[in-house]
Amino acid sequence: MEKQLYRPHFHFTPESNWINDPNGLCYLEGEYHLFYQHHPKSKVWGPMHWGHAVSRDLLHWEHLPIALYPDENGQIFSGSAVVDEQNTSGLQEGETPVMIALFTHHQEGYETQSIAYSKDKGRSWTKYPHNPIIENPGLKDFRDPKVFRYENVWMVTLACGDHIRFYQSENLLDWAYVSSFGQAYGTHGGVWECPDLIRFQTDEGEKWVLIVSINPGGPNGGSAIQYFTGDFDGKVFHCDQPKDQVKWADFGRDFYAAVTWSNLSYPLWIGWMSNWQYANEVPTHPYRGSMSIPRKLSLRKVEGDYQFVQKPVDVSPLVERTESKSLHLIAAETASHKLSKQSHIIIDYEYPSVPFELSIKGEGEKVTMKFDPSTSTFSLDRTGVKNIQFSEHFASVDSAPLKHMEDMELIIDECSVEIFLNQGTFVMTELFYMDTEVFTLEWEAGDSEVKVDYQVQELSTALQKAEKS
């Protein structure tokens, strides 16, 4: 049997070869559809297809045949999917609503938008004979359409290099440009990609958040996601934050191109867990690339400013054993806990302004997380891992601004850690590759005492088997 080198157990990976952006996220009749950028013949980026998988619990995935192949109009770049419940497109036959995918055709640097439709709940796809349905207005970058319903019309966001464009349609086939946003806002250290405009309900009423992936230009280098809060009137996004303010969705190196599922009553998203600085080189086999844990989204006002809140989906179906403990460490004392390579850890800190270190250790190597209240930073150091030579960019010490530490939630799966701080208001996602059978979680107190209550849930270590239907 082929060795599954560093294969995660409950994070989605393709059966083999390359994966990047999640695409076409759509919920229909109990199934979460996940399409994704896929090169089926190589472990490095190449001619893009749409791979396809479905899940009923967001933890166990069933692999399905490739949904969309390159054609005379080009490669199949990123996009989205919706269920046309009211048959606005006129493409429905029979009682089953059509699922419609809007995606970018990419050919020799020229990008247009096209659609495909499915009449059998996503199992087979037909490309619209009159593609493209949105012509390129003369831009080098013109891609990643994200469709959503607003009142009685369809809207789509498109990434256009240094800004986002909004188009409107009544039937998903004929589109008209309505407005643009972004050239004077946020950070522009790289190309803007994979937009998503998300509606939230808050204590103060409706609020909208515009998601923009950027590569490069992230807070710690390479790929990252920034977001803007404001209001949307059906045509124009009105940002309510200062033009030079930058809000990051994740302060780690390995969370990119995240977008939300359509046809759900609440915001739920998933991201590609890698970074373009080294995505083609990470030492995995027979696949390369994975998705994050799906995360539920909300907005919270913190010190007068709206802030993204992310919480991982419920992993209780995977829990095999739970252990709860309390720790009281005095200056420089340490404590350790043996850890499965598939773990969910919840930690509450009694003293939120006390420095400490927390490490995930292997055999002679470690990933170190550190909270330093004197500099108001939380950092993750993966330079202590042995397998970092595959890329000059992988050895890193990454940080997030954090004034105090109330609680921490960790999702660990073989070669990744997703860290949710202070009820998910700060998040950090990082890959690491340790050659060890088990991990050890080790605390070290700083100059003061550390007092914590924590729970470790050991998750299923049965590697998910790929099945086709």
314 in catalytic set: no
CB neighbour class for 332 (10 Å; exposed up to 12, middle 13-18, buried from 19): exposed
Spatial CB neighbours of 129, under 8 Å, sequence gap ≥ 6: none
Based on DSSP, count helices (H) and strands (E) in the chain, helices before strands.
0, 34
> Of the listed 21, 250, 381, 413, which one is catalytic?
21
Distance CA 62, CA 56 (A): 9
Asked if residues 457 and 308 have their Cβ atoms less than 8 Å apart, the reply is no
Distance CA 140, CA 110 (A): 7
Extended beta strands in 330-438, E state: 334-339, 342-349, 356-361, 366-372, 377-381, 397-401, 407-413, 416-421, 426-431
CB neighbour class for 398 (10 Å; exposed up to 12, middle 13-18, buried from 19): buried
The SS3 of residue 41 is coil
Distances 453 to 59, 328, 350, 450 between C-alpha atoms, Å? 27, 9, 8, 10
Handedness of CA 327, 330, 331, 334 (dihedral sign): negative
The angle subtended at Cα 455 by Cα 452 and Cα 459, nearest 5°, is 150
Q: Which amino acid is it at 121? A: K
Catalytic residues: 21
